[in-house]
Structure 1
Amino acid sequence: MSLLILVFSLCLNTSSAVADSVIVSMDVEELSFNKNFLLAVFSMRVTRWPDGRPIKVFVLPDRHPVHHRFVKQHLQIFPYQLRNNWDRQVYTGTGEAPVQVDDIDEMYIKVSQTPGSIGYLSAPKELSLKEVRSVDEY
């Protein structure tokens, strides 16, 4: 019984140790962002980079495990709060929702092909980061 509990707790610890990476297109000059800026960007409150160019935000579907993990760990809110924010902005006409992609591969492709774009990937990077840049957070 105690062995079963130990194995279960180890599985939980490994899954929570997975971190995600914020990625941007190669034309974005910033190399690091603070968490408040990331929250503002993914909440669609900040729509332009510091140099004035528009930001194109890509996200995974609401129920995708990487999306859940990214929103909770990096933005430090719950996914439903982010969705409510987007819906409110769209409904009131004060903003728009980000572009939703189907999976990690499409996220990589869209961010690499769209100037001024931002998104996220799961940490065990199966994709090479030749066409997108991973940025640091502080």
Structure 2
Amino acid sequence: MLSFPFGKVVADSVIVSQDVKEQTLNRNVLLAVFSMRVTRWPDGRPIRVFVLPDRHPLHDLFVKERLQIFPYQLRNNWDRQVFTGTGSEPEQVDTMEEMYRMVSQTDGAIGYVSDSFKLNLEQVRVIDEF
């Protein structure tokens, strides 16, 4: 099991800003969103994706377990889109606290935090995966 200064990383929660209407996302949609291939919510509003640094233990765990790919594959996808001008990479934040703050303050935002992170569900919502 991975660990880092905040303790053991056991799982993660996908969080979205309160204005996002979706209650669930399947793994394929989640992968498309975090791969920056799907850039708009079904209602047409832009999706703002936030991620932790590539080497952060929670990022590694999230990508491997929730997206079911390797982090380098996700990075290669972002780099290819930026290089070819066909897309962009997500916005990077340094900590779970910053992730929570940015998702809670940004319309159409999506990100992830450790399940051990204390969430205020009046500011963000947890999305279930099916």
Q: TM-score range by the shorter chain?
A: over 0.9
Alignment of 1:1-138 (within 5 A): 12=1, 18-138=10-130
Moved over 6 A (4+): none
What is the CA distance between 1:122 and its match in structure 2? Answer: 0.4
What is the CA distance between 1:126 and its match in structure 2? Answer: 2.5
What is the CA distance between 1:130 and its match in structure 2? Answer: 2.4
- What whole-Å deviation, never above 9, does each CA across 1:80-125 have from its counterpart, x for those lacking one? 0000000000000000000000100000000000000000000112
| Identical columns (%) | 69
Could you say what secondary structure the match of 1:119 adopts?
strand
Tell me the distance in 1 between the aligned counterparts of 2:34 and 2:64: 12
**Structure 1 length normalisation: TM-score?**
0.87
What is the CA distance between 1:128 and its match in structure 2? Answer: 2.6
**Structure 2 length normalisation: TM-score?**
0.92
The answer for unaligned runs of 5 or more in structure 2 is 2-7
Could you say what secondary structure the match of 1:45 adopts?
coil
What is the CA distance between 1:19 and its match in structure 2? Answer: 1.3
Tell me the distance in 1 between the aligned counterparts of 2:124 and 2:39: 20
Structure possessing the higher radius of gyration over alpha carbons: 1
Could you say what secondary structure the match of 1:108 adopts?
helix
RMSD: 1.6
The answer for unaligned runs of 5 or more in structure 1 is 1-11
May I ask how many residue pairs the two structures share in their alignment? 126
Tell me the distance in 1 between the aligned counterparts of 2:21 and 2:15: 12
